[in-house]
Structure 1
Amino acid sequence: MKPDDLRRRRVLQLTAGLATATLAGCADTGDGGNNSTGNGTGTGPMGTTAGTTDGGMQTTEGTTEGTSDGTTEQETTEEQTTTTGGSGRLRVVHASPDAPAVDVYVDDEAVLTGVSFGTISDYLTAPAGERAVRITAAGDESTVAFDDMVTVQADTNYTAVAFGNLTTDEFSVDVLTDDPPSPGSDEAAVSLFHASPDAPPVTVTVASSGDALFEGVGYGEQADYVTVPAGSYTLEVRPASGGDPVATFDVEVEGGTTYAAFAVGYLDPANAPGDEPFDLLLATDATTTMRLV
């Protein structure tokens, strides 16, 4: 990492984004939400409504064993979605720089399609309970990158971050519980998730003062929220071990607002599985209080 690697990029992404999916039923009228850039479309049970309450996808695996009298016994295991009442909200971050665009399924229904690298979706409302979440290559359900159960609690916001190198079997999905503070009208709060596969632990400082906002954040880690005065900042990302900045970003944060930042891409794309350069994504968090009508 040399000084000539330093790049400046404006990354505040507070308008235009992935539209929230909709479904006939009760609308989510909670404040806040995500307004980051990206593409893709949303459909299905995780739209802006509470969804149905009759469960969801059920898969059954059966095994047959012979018995001494020639008959067979069927042993069956089940993995079934459940709904417990109420709703939570979930957004998806595509932070895997060598992965293609993806489709996201919840309870066997496509809720996001054609989600490309660098996309942070809007918050989508999901019925509380155990949800079956599957991520596949866009338009190809047979190519599955993630398939697991995710617990959604009522009145809780989540961020699912897909990150790592898909081509080297280092792809992972972390489901984070969004629990931001409540900054004052003249303050903002920001968290940081390190999702750059070839970057070392990083420290993020304010260029004008040298003050460290985040220190020693390792790959796959999320730093706690820090509160700063509202306004414009130039942020420098440098190795936690010391040295010159490897990237510089200009951001502007508004009072009374919380943000989630994601460090993504490669510091050295020329020697990486993908060609996405190091970048910083910034999106507004949803408020923690939701009202469903």
Structure 2
Amino acid sequence: MYHKPYYLSNQDETKAYIRILHASPNAPAVDIYANNDLIAENLKYGEFTDYISVMTGRYNIKVYPANKKQDPIIDTSLNVISNTITTVAVIGEFPNISLLPIEDPRIPIRPNRAYIRVVHLSPNAPNINVSQENDMLLFKSVAYKEATDYLSLRPVTYNFKVKPIGSNKTILYVPNAKLTRDRFYTLYIIGLVGDTPPLQMLIPLDGNSYLNF
């Protein structure tokens, strides 16, 4: 569940968009406050909020276990820049968790192409390679907390493989990922290698596909 305490009109030049991803594999569901206003409620592992429109500036962000408002598990600041679209991820293994802002950059697109990138958020996974099912390499040696650049692909259905760098062992196989033309996607790698919750890939539509300023 999300809240919109900072909504602005489309004409406001100080606007930005953010959404929040809960990517901490062993953290509880959380409530998130910006300057003491609730912006995400009972956000569970693997879930995103919708994008919300916010004023630019510096915010105090507090993250609490859901339905509690004492002893925050994150207490930090977040600088929101004008005319940006950002996914703010809760990352790390509890209790050593933090926020990672990941910008969804607006870039020129070629018509009738789809765009993907990888964000590595698995805290116990080594650097990874991401390839197609035929082992055509798409992204090489992606490190923890790294966001790659976007890659242009044909808008069809793909099967993705994730392998540790220097190994032929597939640690994650993701079939039937359908990509639509003129859209941007991020392949978020979350979870734990050899543990619970297991490694998985989230493939949301990024806000730079449809949000305007």
Question: When the two structures are superposed, what TM-score results if normalisation uses the length of structure 1?
Answer: 0.67
Distance in 1, Cα, partners of 2:124 & 2:208: 33
Matching residue of 2:212: 290
Residue of structure 2 equivalent to 1:33: none
Q: CA deviation at 1:147?
A: 1.7
1:98, 1:123 → 2: CA distance? 24
* Distance (whole Å) between structure 2 residues aligned to residue 43 and residue 123 of structure 1: 10
Q: Which residue in the other structure is 2:155 paired with?
A: 230
Percent identical residues = 22
Taking a change above 3 Å as real, the CA distance of residues 254 and 284 of structure 1, as seen in their structure-2 partners, is same
What residue in structure 1 maps to residue 2 of structure 2? Answer: 42
Q: Give, as a single letter, the amino acid of the residue that structure 1 aligns with 2:23.
A: A
- 1:91 pairs with one of 19, 32, 48: 19
Quick check: 85-94 or 229-238, which moved more? 85-94
> Does the CA contact (< 8 Å) of 1:198 and 1:268 recur in 2?
no
Give the count of matched residue pairs: 209
Q: CA deviation at 1:143?
A: 3.3
Read off the aligned partner of 1:88 and give its amino acid letter: A
Residue 35 of structure 2: aligned partner:
107
Map of 1:61-210 to 2, 5 A cutoff? 86-167=14-95, 169=96, 171-208=97-134, 210=135
List runs of 5+ in structure 1 lacking aligned partners. 1-40, 52-83, 270-274
**1:154, CA displacement in angstroms?**
2.1
Structure of greater relative contact order (alpha carbons < 8 Å, 6+ residues apart): 1
Shift of residue 45, structure 1, vs aligned partner: 1.3
Q: Displaced runs of 4+ in structure 1, greater than 2 A? A: 180-185, 287-291
**SS in structure 2 opposite 1:287?**
helix
Letter in 2 for 1:148: T
Partners of 2:150 and 2:208 in 1: CA distance? 14
1:63 alignment counterpart: none
Q: Which amino acid aligns with 1:199?
A: A
In 2, Cα distance between the equivalents of 1:152 and 1:198? Answer: 29
Q: For the Cα contact (< 8 Å) 2:30–2:44, is it kept in 1?
A: yes
Task: For residue 200 of structure 1, give the secondary structure of its aligned residue in structure 2.
Answer: coil
Deviation at 1:153, TM superposition (A): 2.0
Cα deviations across residues 179-214 of structure 1 (Å, max 9, x unaligned)? Answer: 043433321111111111221111001113x21111
Residues 238 and 200 (structure 1), Cα distance of their counterparts in 2 relative to 1, 3 Å cut: same
Quote the RMSD (CA, aligned, Å): 1.8
Distance 1:85 1:207, change over 3 A: closer
Q: Which runs of no fewer than 5 residues in structure 2 stay unpaired?
A: none
Does the 8 A contact of 1:180 with 1:258 survive in 2? no
Structure 2 length as normaliser, TM-score?
0.91
